[in-house]
Homo-oligomer: A and B are copies of this chain.
Amino acid sequence: MPLAPIFTRLGLIGIGLIGASLARAARQFNVVGEIVCHDIDPQARRTALDLGIVDAAYDQPQAAAAEADLVILCTPISAYGEVTAAIAPSLKPGTILSDVGSVKQAAIRDIGPLVPEGVHFVPGHPVSGTEQSGPEAGFATLFDSRWCILTPPPGSNRGAVDRLSEFWSRLGSRVEIMEARHHDYVLAITSHVPHLIAYNIVGVVDDLEKVTESEVVKYSAGGFRDFTRIAASNPIMWRDVFLNNREAVLEMLGRFSEDLTALQRAIRWGEGDKLEALFTRTRKIRREIIAAGQDSDEPDFGRRQAQAAAEEEATPDR
Contacts and interface: CB of A to CB of B under 8 A. Distances in A.
Contact of A219 (B191, B217, B238): B191
A186 B203 contact: no
Given A191-B222, A192-B222, A232-B287, 4 more contacts: A195-B223, A228-B286, A250-B267, A250-B268
Contacts of A211: 185-186, 189-190
Interface in A18-47: none
What class of interface size applies to chain A in its complex with B?
35 or more
Task: Across the A-B interface, give the 4 residue pairs with the lowest CB-CB distance, nearest first.
Answer: A191-B222, A235-B279, A232-B286, A194-B223
Interface string A273-294: 0011011111101111100101
14 contacts: A102-B222, A127-B221, A189-B204, A190-B215, A190-B216, A194-B223, A194-B227, A204-B255, A217-B292, A228-B285, A231-B286, A239-B275, A243-B267, A257-B257
A1 interface: no
Contact of A185 (B176, B210, B230, B246): B210
A232 B282 contact: yes
Q: Tell me the number of copies of this protein.
A: 2
A188 to B, nearest CB: 9
A146 interface: yes
A199 B208 CA distance: 23
A292 B176 CA distance: 40
